[in-house]
Chains A and B, each alone.
Chain A
Amino acid sequence: MAITGSYIKVNGIKVYYETNNGPKDKSTIVCLHTAGRECRQYHGMMEIFEEEYNMIAFDMPAHGKSWPLPGNKAINEYRAYGDFVWEFIKAMNIDNPIVIGCSVGGNMVYYIAQHYPVKAIVSMQGSDYTPHIDASMSDLLNHPYCNVQYSHYDFSESLIGRDASAEAKEFILWGVCQEIGITKKGDLGLYNDFDVRDGMKNITCPVLVIRGEDDWAVPEYECRELMERLVGTKKLMWKSVPRKGHFIAVEAPEVVCEVMQEFMADL
């Protein structure tokens, strides 16, 4: 295993990132994690791609091993989230990145492609409009009498696909146990406000849309609708993965890598 971790300062925040130290002759793949979680979600893909692509995954501020914003805060606005991702990419001196993300990260790649010069994007379980979170849940994600790990356990479990391995399932649920209320509330708040539908026509880079079919939270019709709004993209590829769920990069890294190989072959 060639994965190593390190820190870099981005806008004054100590940000933790990992890389598979893959070959530098092709575009670097920058990976965005799901809400409340961190960059280890990409270990499976990093190992598969270590001889072929250089991958970098990082923990957003207040996630995993990255420091929070001043005042122990998390980013809670989607434009600020997307802009921070680009600041990280700039700080790392990555040109022409392929940006991939899952869930809130899968949303964020659309924002980034609308505003920054990326080579391509891959959206897993993402959408361009997600008013999905009920207020009865989001208000209590950071509450002194409500434990975020405990109250959110079944919700996360319900998103996992039927064919996820026991190891993948355990890692995903361990991720719930490590969540921070402030961070989760920030992520799901900005996820709920996320709406970049108007800018979808401005995306010109190649786009790969992947969806695990067992994910009830991001229905297939949303992916179909957003793809109809991608009228300017050079290339659009869609992959629906049966019996896998919301955490597809963890549940099926081999499937995601195979589809990405095909997608990236002629970029």
Chain B
Amino acid sequence: MLAMSKASSKGDAKMNEQKMLDKFNKVKELINGREAETFKEKYFARFFTGDITLVFGETPYTLSFHKGTMIDTIKGTPLTGINFGLEGTQAKWDEFFEHRNFQLATSPPHNPNHLGFLGSTLAFRQNNNVIAHLMRIIAKVMAN
């Protein structure tokens, strides 16, 4: 019985991971497609090459970009360490996916349920426009 439930929870986790990766593929389609000009030009992503790591509960995903084009998503953190990103419980992420206000989601003085910063604070500020627009697209995709 125990073995079965372990297997089933492992199976659930695998399914969730696959669902998340599918969602990030949808994000990739949008960010490289109809959002590409806004992302690269208005929000300056054409200057961004690097990784953004997002941790949902305990599970990290890393999105890789080259000059504003989204290349890949992996489950896990980069071998070179986290450049910058955000982390939060699923409840905090769900709250953000609903209001979709990135600046509110990342403002501790305004929001007790804010998402936490990961990695380099300097890199986060330097690329604030990039991550802000990316996160709005992720929120749309996650909330369908």
B121: chain A residues at CB < 8 Å are 136, 139-140
Stretch at the interface among B1-9, B15-23, B72-80, B107-115: B107-115
Q: Which of B102, B110, B124, B132 is close to A217, meaning CB atoms less than 8 Å apart?
A: B110
- Are B122 and A146 in contact, with the CB atoms below 8 A? yes
Q: Which of B101, B122, B132 is close to A216, meaning CB atoms less than 8 Å apart?
A: B101
Closest 9 CB pairs of A and B: A154-B132, A158-B103, A140-B125, A151-B125, A154-B129, A136-B121, A216-B104, A132-B109, A151-B128
- Are B124 and A136 in contact, with the CB atoms below 8 A? yes
B104: chain A residues at CB < 8 Å are 158, 216
B interface footprint on A184-198 (CB within 8 Å = 1, 0 otherwise): 000000000000000
A150: chain B residues at CB < 8 Å are 44, 126, 128-129
Measured in the bound complex, the distance between the Cα atoms of B84 and A247 in whole Å is: 31
A-B contact pairs, 30 of them (CB 8 A): A132-B109, A133-B109, A134-B109, A136-B121, A136-B124, A139-B121, A140-B121, A140-B122, A143-B122, A146-B122, A150-B44, A150-B126, A150-B128, A150-B129, A151-B125, A151-B126, A151-B129, A153-B43, A153-B129, A154-B43, A154-B103, A154-B132, A154-B133, A155-B103, A158-B101, A158-B102, A216-B101, A216-B103, A216-B104, A216-B110
B interface footprint on A130-142 (CB within 8 Å = 1, 0 otherwise): 0111101101100
A133: chain B residues at CB < 8 Å are 109
Measured in the bound complex, the distance between the Cα atoms of B140 and A41 in whole Å is: 33
The count of residues in chain B whose C-beta lies closer than 8 Å to any C-beta of chain A is: 20
Other A-B pairs, 7, CB within 8 Å; known A140-B125, A217-B110: A134-B109, A150-B126, A150-B129, A151-B126, A152-B128, A154-B133, A158-B102
Q: Is A219 interfacial (CB-CB < 8 Å)?
A: yes
- Are B110 and A219 in contact, with the CB atoms below 8 A? yes
A145: chain B residues at CB < 8 Å are 122, 126
B129: chain A residues at CB < 8 Å are 150-151, 153-154
Measured in the bound complex, the distance between the Cα atoms of B127 and A146 in whole Å is: 9
- Cβ < 8 Å to A, chain B residues 70-114: 101-104, 107-110
- Are A146 and B126 in contact, with the CB atoms below 8 A? yes
- Cβ < 8 Å to B, chain A residues 152-173: 152-155, 158-159
A151: chain B residues at CB < 8 Å are 125-126, 128-129
- Are B109 and A131 in contact, with the CB atoms below 8 A? yes
Measured in the bound complex, the distance between the Cα atoms of B133 and A150 in whole Å is: 13
A136: chain B residues at CB < 8 Å are 117, 121, 124-125
B interface footprint on A106-149 (CB within 8 Å = 1, 0 otherwise): 00000000000000000000000001111011011001011100
Measured in the bound complex, the distance between the Cα atoms of B66 and A26 in whole Å is: 61
CB closest residue in chain A, given B135: A154
Measured in the bound complex, the distance between the Cα atoms of B104 and A146 in whole Å is: 21
Q: Which of A131, A137, A159, A219 is close to B125, meaning CB atoms less than 8 Å apart?
A: A137
- Known A-B contacts A154-B43, A154-B132, A154-B133; the reply to A134 vs B125 at CB < 8 A is no
